């Protein structure tokens, strides 16, 4: 057990959060993480409707009596999801933590706060973190350049980004991107974070409800096997290298400034069910962090979290303490 501002805020045992991941963050994984003392998170928009989300929250509630959260990503798209409906499902489901991502969540904060919900917003820069603090978010998840998914456009790795956040923010934050083990957790705490958020590492667990091919691909990958796509569209995403990613990057090269989203739709739209559920590893581009290089096995969630905490405590009590002269 480790006590930080994040464990206190969310009522959890260990300062470990499972990030929202498309077609990964189902009730099975969220419940497993929460039961192991972390904060599990259901990915809201993987559920097709607010009714589906309400059902998934109930399903998670049957598997754990510990706190868990819901991720809600605010997308800048024409056909906007039914955000009021999703928020209603979260509040009525008694969920007390929401991880927001994407666009500014400001207009939704009063309703969530009124219902006693704590909001942690994903940010890829200090300026976005300060904005999240200013609009009333309770905490932020600071995503370094190493992270899978969207690292923003500044390319600042966590060794710089986390201490910068610590210098500037008054609200607590967790480190996200490159987090895999006890070393990650202790390093994040040393740099000023109050915990860590793991995405890719939680996909390679027994309970992650994804195809075995996905888990094996992460274990097989090294830290050199991710690529950045959609950079010309200023919608950069870190993904695992495969044939579809090569095709996508070739289109980016040949079309140059003329590239439009429509040109790469085959490689990025609707690929998650085919990959995560059906295991078609070449179907398209899917988010994966550089941290794949540190992932060598597929433990249960409890084995993973217990191992992280044992390692973290040993580093703090023995290794680091040993460096301090008596």
**Domain for residue 296, yes or no?**
no
Claim to verify: residue 33 and residue 103 sit in the same structural domain: yes
Q: What is the CATH number of the domain that holds 80?
A: 3.20.20.70
The per-residue pLDDT for 78 is: 72
Q: Name the pairing type of β-strands 237-240 and 226-229.
A: antiparallel
The per-residue pLDDT for 79 is: 84
Tokens describing residue 84: 């009021």
Claim to verify: residue 69 and residue 11 sit in the same structural domain: yes
Which one-letter DSSP state was computed for residue 19? Answer: P
Dist CA 207 CA 249 (whole Å): 33
**How many helices, marked H, and strands, marked E, lie in the chain?**
15, 10
Claim to verify: residue 281 and residue 186 sit in the same structural domain: no
Residues of the chain with pLDDT under 70: 326
Three-class SS of residue 196?
strand
Number of domains in the chain: 2
Domain that holds residue 89: 5-205
Claim to verify: residue 10 and residue 78 sit in the same structural domain: yes
Claim to verify: residue 109 and residue 17 sit in the same structural domain: yes
Q: pLDDT tens-digit profile of 114-147?
A: 999 999 999 999 999 999 999 999 999 999 999 9
Q: pLDDT tens-digit profile of 176-215?
A: 999 999 999 999 999 999 999 999 999 999 999 999 999 9
Claim to verify: residue 182 and residue 80 sit in the same structural domain: yes
Question: Could you tell me the pTM of the whole model?
Answer: 0.97
**Domain for residue 324, yes or no?**
no
Claim to verify: residue 187 and residue 220 sit in the same structural domain: no
């Amino acid at each position: 057990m480790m006590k930080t501002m994040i464990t206190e805020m969310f009522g959890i045992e260990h300062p470990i959060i499972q990030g929202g991941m498309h077609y990964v963050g189902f009730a099975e994984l969220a419940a497993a993480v929460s039961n192991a003392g972390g904060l599990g998170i259901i990915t809201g928009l993987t559920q097709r409707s607010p009714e589906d989300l309400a059902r998934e929250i109930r399903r998670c509630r049957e598997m754990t009596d510990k706190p868990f959260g819901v991720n809600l990503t605010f997308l800048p798209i024409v056909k906007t999801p039914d955000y009021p409906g999703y928020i209603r499902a979260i509040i009525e489901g008694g969920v007390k933590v929401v991880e927001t991502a994407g666009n500014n969540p400001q207009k939704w904060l009063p309703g969530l706060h009124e219902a006693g919900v704590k909001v942690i917003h994903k940010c890829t820069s200090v300026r976005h973190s300060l904005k999240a603090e200013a609009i009333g978010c309770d905490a932020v998840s600071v995503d370094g350049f190493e992270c899978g998914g969207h690292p923003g456009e500044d390319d600042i790795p966590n060794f710089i980004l986390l201490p910068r956040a610590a210098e500037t923010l008054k609200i607590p934050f967790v480190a996200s991107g490159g987090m895999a083990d006890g070393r990650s957790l202790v390093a994040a705490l040393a740099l000023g974070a109050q915990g860590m958020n793991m995405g890719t590492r939680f996909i390679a667990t027994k309970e992650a409800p994804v195809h075995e091919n996905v888990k094996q691909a992460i274990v097989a990958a090294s830290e050199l096997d991710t690529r950045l796509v959609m950079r010309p569209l200023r919608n950069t995403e870190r993904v695992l290298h495969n044939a579809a990613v090569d095709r996508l990057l070739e289109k980016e090269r040949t079309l140059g400034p003329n590239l439009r989203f429509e040109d790469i739709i085959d490689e990025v739209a609707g690929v998650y069910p085919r990959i995560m559920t059906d295991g078609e590893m070449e179907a398209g581009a899917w988010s994966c962090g550089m941290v794949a290089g540190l992932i060598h096995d597929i433990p249960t969630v409890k084995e993973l979290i217990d191992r992280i905490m044992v390692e973290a405590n040993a580093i703090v009590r023995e290794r680091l303490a040993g460096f301090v002269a008596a």
